[in-house]
């Protein structure tokens, strides 16, 4: 039995942050019903990576919406809205990520929903909070990365701002929404009253940077100092932290004793006995290490360094990582069955409950695929 079995979630969310939260809740056993527009469904069905689609829906949509049901309703029609309200009366949780004011206009704001269901956990995602000068600005991942300072952490100091190659704001926000909803369920169970859970993309991406922001705020508000040399992994960490070119690939070095590394690889680093210089002269040190690592293969260096207890790793691409036994023993891949009967390979939830991994083999639903059965189940015909 999964821990959230018996919890009913109505998902009014679209695109990524809100649906990602629904995905994680479904993986944990909750029943998640997407409330979607008839025919077209939610906007995320048309947001694609590399323009990859499975029939009418994007591959991205399928990765985020497995193990859910779809209920088609036009919330502008009184009869459809009335049915949805009857579903809300039976639900434990509802989520949405519309811009501020949209749910109010529909008549499904937090106070409205509380009148329907006084014990609801109401999860709301916004781009930048419900109030303030950015409240109505589009809450899109790249824009949030740009506005939060995040783009000044990667790359070198010569690169200008560099965005992440992932929708990190959406992903962290979805995870934070799950945390808030779980806390809300616990509070609701104690108080028997409704709980409002609110999170924004901007707050999530700022929280993701808590270490660096704390450093900035307590270090004279000096901006992050990225390395001038490619491969530097962190704007606030000293050498040798980073990625180095070898004769056949790349080597990652974590925090470690620079002098011990020098001895291990046959490089004279005695000029850097003072650890305080490891940050100030990290570019110089990095260049020196690069000069040594480029002459041997990555496996050779890993073997030499690991024998001395120095933290290092080969830098793998997806093909290399997925072929490695260390990845395969985790069982992180699963097949889900799509509505057309075909299989889609994706990842599973990373959490284990009582030493059991969480798998789900049901793919994302077609728009309105479950409307008829839900109407009959909840007697809202």
Q: Output the pLDDT for position 122.
A: 98
Rounded mean pLDDT of the chain?
Answer: 95
Q: Among this protein's residues, is 170 annotated catalytic?
A: yes
Catalytic residue among 170, 207, 248, 354: 170
Which residue ranges does the chain devote to CATH 3.30.1540.10? 242-322
Share above pLDDT 90 across residues of the chain, in percent, rounded to a whole number: 94
Q: What is the CATH number of domain 8-208+334-377?
A: 3.40.50.10540
Q: Is the pLDDT of residue 232 over 90?
A: no
**The CATH number of the domain covering residues in 242-322:** 3.30.1540.10
Q: Using one digit for the tens of pLDDT, what is the confidence trace for 60-105?
A: 999 999 999 999 999 999 999 999 999 999 999 999 999 889 999 9
Positions of CATH 3.40.50.10540 in the chain: 8-208+334-377
User: What is the model's pLDDT at position 284?
Assistant: 93
Q: For residue range 200-219, what is the model confidence (pLDDT) as tens digits?
A: 999 999 999 999 999 999 99
SS3 labels along the chain:
CCCCCCCEEEECCCCCHHHHHHHHHHHCCCEEEEEECCCCCCHHHHCCCCCCEECCEEHHHHHHCCCCEEEECCCCCHHHHHHHHHHHCCCCEEEECCCCCHHHHHCCCHHHHHHHCCCCEEEEEECCCCCCCCCCCCCCHHHHHHHHCHHHCCCCCCCCCCCCCCCHHHHHHHHHHHHHHHHHHHHHHHHCCCEEEEEEHHHHHHHHCHHHHHHHHCCCCCCCCCCCCCCECCCCCCCCCEEEECCCCEEEECCCCHHHHHHHHCCCCHHHCCCCHHHHCHHHHHHHHHHHHCCCCHHHHHHHHHHCCCCEEECCCHHHHHHCHHHHCCCCEEEEECCCCCEEEEECEEEEECCEEECCCECCCCCCCCHHHHHHHCCCC
């Amino acid at each position: 039995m999964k821990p959230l079995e018996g919890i009913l979630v109505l998902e009014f969310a679209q695109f990524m942050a809100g649906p990602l939260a629904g995905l994680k809740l479904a993986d944990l056993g909750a029943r998640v019903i997407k409330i979607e527009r008839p025919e077209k469904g939610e906007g995320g069905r048309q947001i694609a990576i590399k323009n990859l689609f499975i029939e009418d829906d994007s591959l991205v949509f399928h990765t985020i919406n497995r193990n859910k049901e779809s209920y088609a309703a036009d919330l502008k029609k009184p009869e459809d809205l009335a049915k949805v309200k009857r579903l809300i009366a039976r639900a434990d949780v509802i989520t949405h990520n519309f811009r501020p004011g949209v749910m109010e206009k529909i008549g499904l704001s937090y106070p409205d929903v509380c009148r329907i269901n006084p014990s609801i956990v109401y999860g709301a995602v916004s781009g930048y909070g419900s109030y303030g000068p950015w409240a109505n600005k589009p809450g899109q991942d790249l824009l949030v990365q740009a506005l939060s300072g995040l783009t000044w952490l990667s790359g070198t100091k010569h690169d200008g701002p560099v965005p992440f190659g992932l929708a990190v704001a959406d992903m962290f926000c979805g995870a934070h929404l799950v945390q808030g909803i779980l806390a809300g369920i616990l509070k609701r169970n104690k108080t028997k009253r409704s709980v409002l859970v609110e999170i924004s993309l901007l707050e999530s991406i700022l929280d993701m940077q808590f270490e660096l922001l704390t450093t900035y705020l307590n270090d004279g508000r000096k901006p992050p100092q990225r390395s001038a040399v490619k491969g530097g992994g962190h704007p606030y960490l000293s050498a040798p932290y980073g990625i180095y070119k070898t004769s056949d690939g790349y080597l990652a070095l974590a925090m470690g004793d620079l002098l011990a590394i020098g001895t291990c690889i046959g490089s004279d680093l005695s000029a850097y006995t003072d650890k305080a210089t490891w940050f100030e002269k990290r570019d110089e040190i990095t260049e020196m290490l690069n000069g040594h690592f480029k002459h041997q293969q990555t496996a050779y260096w890993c073997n030499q360094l690991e024998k001395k207890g120095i933290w290092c790793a080969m830098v793998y691409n997806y093909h290399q990582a997925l072929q490695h036994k260390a990845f395969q023993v985790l069982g992180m891949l699963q097949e889900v069955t799509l509505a057309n009967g075909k299989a889609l390979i994706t990842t599973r939830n990373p959490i284990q409950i009582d030493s059991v991994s969480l798998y789900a083999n049901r793919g994302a639903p077609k728009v309105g695929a479950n409307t008829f059965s839900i109407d009959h189940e909840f007697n809202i015909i």
